[in-house]
Structure 1
Amino acid sequence: MSKVFVTGASGFIAQHIVKQLLDSDYEVVGTVRSKDKGEKLSSFFGGKFTYEIVPNMIDKGAFDLALKNHQDVKYLLHTASPFFYDTTDPENDLVIPAIKGTENILKSIQTFGSQIERVVVTSSDAAIYSDVDEQNGSLSMDETSWNNITYEEAIKNPIAAYYGAKSFAEKLAWKFVETEPVSFKLAVVNPVYVFGPQVNPQDAKGKLNTSNELIGSLLSLKDDSFDTDKGGFVDVRDVAKAHLAAMVQKEAVNKRLFMTGGKFSTQMLLDILNKHFPELKLPKGKVGNGPAEIATLAKTNNDKTKAIVKFEFTPLEKIVVDTVSQILY
């Protein structure tokens, strides 16, 4: 039974990764920021899951002791990174944690994890394009694309900070394996908006993660005066499967897995909700207008990723129905 080390184990994506690893008979050790979070995960996942407390991943040597305690780890998945826009200090809340967290885990592996064979970093489509370029229908993006955000731009507002943080942290990881003596191989997963049900159904009754809140907020919609969000979508269960593929498949070495199952708009979400949950009596909006709305988005191609992961991506309708059914019932 191989052991996998997962940073940020209490996160939305990370919990799905942990579940799939355990279901595949791996042993998992996850990092959490507090004992309460660790105990909650342990009680839910059971005996093959253990945890290490890392209060602040930006502290020098933050992961050293955790890796020292698990010299039999074979794979490491670094999922820990902040994702929110509600901040007045984007540099310290978003940019620095993403960069320092990635740097610290890689340095700890270099020093205390020489037996680790593969490292998978959870990045984002935000590293592939900027929020501005994503909305430009004349552009085309794939696994080789990068956003053009500078550090100076990133620290000015939360949205630029999130996009910049993702590219800065990921580029640091790629540079690290190119310039430092390391024993592991690297792969990166770049998901778009990640929707889907929670691993623990009880988590669906509280505050949702940033992506799922786009769906959850529509459940109390009163009229047609809603903002139109649009972008790429992917199911959290598919993102977790991609991490496992990146962890073991030789084709994934030195590759970015661009995880997108298609594009969505708020209207498309609303159309699905009205079709499957008529009892909510939600506003109709402009029914069927979704395809026209997403036509203005940059074109994306992830054929290289699909060839590596080798599974069909979950369609938007199933994602929304599964997510909302868990929230409501």
Structure 2
Amino acid sequence: MSTVFVSGANGYIAQHLIVQLLSKGYSVIGSTRSEDKGENLKKNLNSNDFKYVVIPDIIREDAFDEVLRSNPQITGFFHAASPVVFDVKNLEEDIILPAIKGTTNVLNSIQKFAPQITRFVYTSSYVAIGSHLDTKDTVLTEETWNQIPREGAEDSDLAYAISKTYAEKAVWEFVEKNSPNFTFNTVNPTYVLGPQAFDSEVKGTLNFSAEIINKILKLKPEDEVPEFRGVFIDVRDTARAHLFALETNQSSLRLLCNENYFTNQMCLDIINKNFSLDLPKGSPGTGNDFSQRPTIDNSKTRSLIGPFIGLEESVVDTVKQVVDN
């Protein structure tokens, strides 16, 4: 039985990933920022093949040294932990540098203490590929990079995009410079929708992307529907992409996980069609013209891990879980 490590194990994507790993017979060691979070995850997973370690601060240079030194059975590593914070005082110090440092710390620890690791998977993001600078004539692919300059962080949203871009670039640069023993692939998901891995994780406020649907469910019948549009992938497909990235013999892949564009109105239409909830109607069937948006061509990724769960299934499964809990 192979043993793999998952940093940020109690995250939205990571929990689904661990469920899929365990179902395929892997033994998993995950890191959480506190014992409470670790114990909660252990209880939810209810598996003897999962254990956790507490790493409260991934930007400490030696944060991963001990777990890698003391667990030589680890042969695969998923780095899924990254700060997702927006209410900060210093964009560079509080968002950008922690993401980069956390990633380089992992890589340095593997190089020093875990030469037996042969597979490394990095959870990147669509924002490392596309940005607000793109136009309707832009075609985004697995080879595209976000063009926002490092010093271009004007707000927390841009700082997050820069942090994911430069943290992923740090992986590519490390591999090129150090020629490590592992193959590596990155997973670059768009907005991640879909149910929580466990019903007990359904709370008043969900994680950043899952809260998109939850906010719609909190609307009152007389409320206006807030405008929001983006691109999405279901969390279960995102986890599946990580599993593929580990198991494939291919290396240096960027898996651009995106199903399609969506809007709040499209999600609301799906909810009103499938559930009898006291929600506004908005303007049904409108707002789904994306002709002025960039083209996202992830045909390479789709050929490897498609097809993907559609918006209706993703929204219905999400809402059903929230309503039932």
> Does TM-score exceed 0.5, indicating one fold?
yes
Q: What's the CA shift for 1:283? A: 1.3
Match of 2:143 in 1: 144
1:295 to 291, 297, 310: 291
Amino acid across the alignment from 1:319: S
Q: What's the CA shift for 1:188? A: 0.3
When residues 143 and 177 of structure 1 are mapped into structure 2, their CA distance, relative to the original with a 3 A threshold, is: same
1:285 to 274, 282, 287: 282
Q: What's the CA shift for 1:83? A: 2.2
What are the Cα deviations for residues 230-265 of structure 1, in whole angstroms up to 9, with x where unaligned?
Answer: 1111000000000000001113x1110000011101
Q: What's the CA shift for 1:206? A: 3.6
Q: What's the CA shift for 1:304? A: 0.7
Residues 264 and 290, structure 1, Cα contact 8 Å, conserved in 2: no
Secondary structure at the aligned position of 1:98 is classed as helix
Match of 1:312 in 2: 307
Residues 9 and 31, structure 1, Cα contact 8 Å, conserved in 2: yes
Q: Give the unaligned 5+ runs of structure 2.
A: none
Partners of 1:113 and 1:63 in 2: CA distance: 10
Amino acid across the alignment from 1:26: Y
Residues 195 and 318, structure 2, Cα contact 8 Å, conserved in 1: yes
Secondary structure at the aligned position of 1:283 is classed as coil
RMSD: 1.3
Match of 1:170 in 2: 168
Amino acid across the alignment from 1:301: D
Q: What's the CA shift for 1:44? A: 1.7
Partners of 2:102 and 2:132 in 1: CA distance: 23
Question: Does structure 1 residue 92 correspond to structure 2 residue 93?
Answer: yes
What are the Cα deviations for residues 251-307 of structure 1, in whole angstroms up to 9, with x where unaligned?
Answer: 3x1110000011101111111111112x22311112111322x33221101111112
Match of 1:324 in 2: 319
Partners of 1:66 and 1:3 in 2: CA distance: 13
Residues 231 and 297, structure 1, Cα contact 8 Å, conserved in 2: no
Secondary structure at the aligned position of 2:273 is classed as helix
Question: Does structure 1 residue 104 correspond to structure 2 residue 105?
Answer: yes
Residues 225 and 280, structure 2, Cα contact 8 Å, conserved in 1: no
Residues 84 and 210, structure 1, Cα contact 8 Å, conserved in 2: no
Secondary structure at the aligned position of 1:114 is classed as coil
Secondary structure at the aligned position of 2:196 is classed as coil
What are the residue-to-residue correspondences of 1:233-244 with 2, within 5 Å? 233-244=232-243
Q: What's the CA shift for 1:58? A: 0.5
What are the residue-to-residue correspondences of 1:1-329 with 2, within 5 Å? 1-45=1-45, 46-133=47-134, 136-154=135-153, 156-222=154-220, 223-251=222-250, 253-277=251-275, 279-292=276-289, 294-309=290-305, 311-329=306-324
What TM-score comes out, normalization by structure 1 length?
0.95
What TM-score comes out, normalization by structure 2 length?
0.96
Secondary structure at the aligned position of 1:76 is classed as strand
Q: What's the CA shift for 1:200? A: 1.4
Q: What's the CA shift for 1:224? A: 5.0
Moved more, 158-167 or 79-88: 79-88
Secondary structure at the aligned position of 1:208 is classed as coil
Q: What's the CA shift for 1:139? A: 1.3
Q: Give the unaligned 5+ runs of structure 1.
A: none
What are the Cα deviations for residues 51-93 of structure 1, in whole angstroms up to 9, with x where unaligned?
Answer: 1111100111111011112111111000001224333332233
Secondary structure at the aligned position of 1:131 is classed as coil
Q: What's the CA shift for 1:212? A: 1.0
Moved more, 231-240 or 216-225: 216-225
Moved more, 198-207 or 299-308: 198-207
Report % sequence identity: 43
Q: What's the CA shift for 1:131? A: 3.2
